[in-house]
Chain A
């Protein structure tokens, strides 16, 4: 009975909550597409009708479109140019090129406009890049006027290099159709005058678009299993062994799909009243200072397209997905769409793994992960991370080109935190190899020192090789550092409020910083601004311990110097350990231009050791190893490590004499 009543009440609340959330979304454009998928040619071709309303105050004379598959058309496209600077550059092979061609373009009332198209390169002026095309209209589109654009296009998918393309009989079809840029009227993301924002396709970024309504009618060979953004609302057999699918979704900024005959379909439902216990609702309600009823989560249909080689991992994927739906939902707000589809890339299609599209994402598994010890390399992190992108970028649709940290950084933090909710932290050393978790972020952060950019940069303007560490890892560690400064519940609340405020919007870094300024914690606001905008760093150190001989009363003076390198001014706990076993804690905060401080204790026993930040709360500290100092070396663990090093040395030497 209790359950039924719960379900009824919850259902009502959910209905209201979802209705409410979706009402906040205002789709700016509608896409209706009818396309044919030909796996033999690796092509998708068809028609597209775009209905766009000028929502700005000014007349608009040009329309820019993304034609992103052209990034894979030539070796000197901006994508390949940027890729060349990376350590794992992939060569361009003409036989495996991709392309997106328009065969006709007309606007109702303006006639055929195909001849008016011109490739433009707003980001880098690279004339070889054909990923953005601009259409000059014969007459301007007036404010509030709607136009209907009719396009016929053919997309050839590239062999997988990055993100979209094919590998064997697996297809990830993303960024595959002509898509309008984003009109930014004055006031949008800091725009002073009406402007278009339509970036080229880059090595590290591809997302920024209006929220839109999609209806896609897709025909494909019947043996192919298809998964896509949104809900499948129809499936009908067609002649010549083909099947037609219709997918529909509202308030999403993109539409992607995948096809492979080797997918096995696993379906389940996330039940807001079963998969989350009343106790969990209550705990989160207390955490967030809300009523449990305001946290209730709606049901979500889950579809997993698992490659049959990885079928053993389907249960784990499903379980993880439910956990992600639960924790992201409780923390930031309910997942408002009815459906989520997860695609498991085929073996050999790793380049398509871990990609996020609205209500649709790819995981990434390997048969080995079903076996010890490789099972420690967690499949879960990628599922949690990519699901999380439905929130960060999917719904809070920041500009990934210009401010990549806003989605990747916040989402990496959220993913690592959700992983902590899901599992006990620490454990197996192989975990260090898996993607995700604060430990990995910390490791990459240390490896790339010194960092030469602030967290926030246009994605292609970071120091070579420093995009990931800044946009993902450092941003994640920054939020982890801010967490205890603000108090964990307060911080969780502030992030939730930020999400709710900008759900179905396009916030900027300035909006984020302003939000945290308004949240009222000056230290946190300053910390965020210093690292995100100014490359602020911090390294706390314990510098010296000096002990004077006992005075006539038998008391000794212990002096401890601690210092803080870097620009950040954070309060930090310091633990003082005395030889009689007593411990003392103090908080120190460097002020102004004085980067050090001396503590003095006059006591019966001298100081034995000092530890700055004993709980490692300042996750951004450039080096934890210099945080502590002891007057008497501790030798036991040193023996362990010297033994281990000796062993490793021995093995290295054995390799050297393998052929001796």
Chain B
């Protein structure tokens, strides 16, 4: 079985996400560089830069005039949306293939990409609105408190308040995100209708959620922190192009790896939860309509309709209707084998 994954599943996913990330940012950088190259004689101006510490004059001079930047700016919104969608769909493929234990890696990745990508997008839109409302609430709350409170003493006070607000927003959103990821992980393990899935985080392990939120925050901050570091280096040293590029790739790899590790953690936890439920099911005599194969349920498309029709009261889901499915239900695979 393992031979199907030559670099290991995580390694392959890492490669996909990394290449995908490059695909989105590299053309812009290349375009900028190429345009800069023939942009109205900027080359000589640039040559002066070589061997010198970062020259702020360049920034002052170039940014307002930079045709390459103007060229890039209309590309930005579609790129951002495209990259967002790529991540959501990638998460579908990644989580599904992490949950799936049989069959070729690429097949399961692609299957997850196609099937769960759209579901994740729907889920994401719900959580995005939740996140927006949360941020709005936090900001208004801070606004209200600030209005009622006396003048802040000292000029660090507004800064501290802003930092505190940022931290609260960040934690709140991080918690929401970890709930969102819990649902994702459970969804690929045990597909059920969306409205049933939304209850999953409430039944889950609060400690895990909190810990996951922290991990999510750390990974996100790591990404921004690395960015700040590299930009700082680039601005203060004479950074050669190659060195900068290496640093850049390292930073991208780190954040990408962090994300995939997070996905794996969530899938692992999803399995644990299912197992726990299964144990509980074993202890209690099964209800008439609950299949004996505990935990695992539906697999393929089409079964969801059946699920919603029969109602979601049963913990174990609906009869597994897909014996002819090319890929076995990941849920069925969740036997305590100790390997993931």
Binding site for B on A (CB under 8 A): 167-168, 309-310, 347-348, 366-368, 426-429, 431-432, 439-440, 442-443, 446-447, 449, 541-542, 609, 611, 616, 623-630, 633-654, 656-660
Q: A575 — nearest CB in chain B belongs to which residue?
A: B44
State whether B151 touches A645 (Cβ < 8 A): no
B241 at the interface (CB under 8 A from A): yes
Find A626's partner among B41, B155, B236 (CB 8 Å cutoff).
B41
Which residues from chain B contact A638 at a C-beta distance below 8 Å? 33-34, 36-37, 43, 46, 241
Find A633's partner among B43, B64, B152 (CB 8 Å cutoff).
B43
Known pairs A642-B34, A643-B245. 11 more at Cβ < 8 A? Answer: A439-B56, A439-B57, A609-B44, A629-B44, A630-B43, A637-B49, A640-B49, A643-B29, A644-B244, A649-B72, A658-B220
User: In whole angstroms, what is the CA distance A630 to B47 when docked?
Assistant: 10
Q: B151 — nearest CB in chain A belongs to which residue?
A: A168
Nearest CB on B from A468, distance (A): 16
State whether B62 touches A651 (Cβ < 8 A): no
User: In whole angstroms, what is the CA distance A646 to B230 when docked?
Assistant: 12
Which residues from chain A contact B24 at a C-beta distance below 8 Å? 649, 653
Q: B241 — nearest CB in chain A belongs to which residue?
A: A639
Q: A611 — nearest CB in chain B belongs to which residue?
A: B44
Which residues from chain A contact B255 at a C-beta distance below 8 Å? 654
State whether B29 touches A446 (Cβ < 8 A): no
Which residues from chain B contact A624 at a C-beta distance below 8 Å? 45, 61
State whether A642 touches B29 (Cβ < 8 A): yes
The interface size of chain B toward A, counting residues with CB under 8 Å, comes to: 81
Which residues from chain B contact A449 at a C-beta distance below 8 Å? 64
Find A628's partner among B30, B41, B79, B80 (CB 8 Å cutoff).
B41
Which residues from chain A contact B81 at a C-beta distance below 8 Å? 656
B339 at the interface (CB under 8 A from A): no
State whether A643 touches B84 (Cβ < 8 A): no
Which residues from chain B contact A649 at a C-beta distance below 8 Å? 24-25, 28-29, 72, 79
Of B123-131, B290-298, B316-324, the one with at least 4 CB within 8 A of chain A: B123-131
State whether B44 touches A640 (Cβ < 8 A): no
Interface string of B37-65 (1 = CB under 8 A from A): 11111111111011001111101111011
Which residues from chain B contact A167 at a C-beta distance below 8 Å? 151
Find B153's partner among A347, A442, A616, A659 (CB 8 Å cutoff).
A347
Nearest CB on A from B229, distance (A): 11
State whether A641 touches B33 (Cβ < 8 A): yes
The 9 closest A-B pairs by CB, nearest first: A642-B33, A646-B29, A639-B241, A347-B155, A629-B41, A660-B87, A628-B44, A637-B46, A643-B244
Nearest CB on B from A157, distance (A): 16
CB<8 Å pairs between A and B, sample of 24? A440-B60, A609-B44, A616-B57, A625-B40, A625-B62, A626-B40, A626-B65, A637-B241, A638-B33, A638-B241, A640-B240, A641-B33, A642-B34, A643-B241, A643-B248, A646-B32, A647-B234, A650-B252, A651-B224, A652-B80, A654-B227, A656-B83, A659-B124, A659-B131
B91 at the interface (CB under 8 A from A): yes
User: In whole angstroms, what is the CA distance A440 to B68 when docked?
Assistant: 22
State whether B65 touches A657 (Cβ < 8 A): no
State whether B28 touches A656 (Cβ < 8 A): no
User: In whole angstroms, what is the CA distance A429 to B157 when docked?
Assistant: 26
State whether A636 touches B50 (Cβ < 8 A): yes
State whether B154 touches A309 (Cβ < 8 A): yes
Find B60's partner among A310, A432, A640, A647 (CB 8 Å cutoff).
A432
User: In whole angstroms, what is the CA distance A3 to B181 when docked?
Assistant: 78
Given A638-B46, A642-B29, A645-B32; A446-B241 close (CB under 8 Å): no
Find A630's partner among B41, B62, B235 (CB 8 Å cutoff).
B41
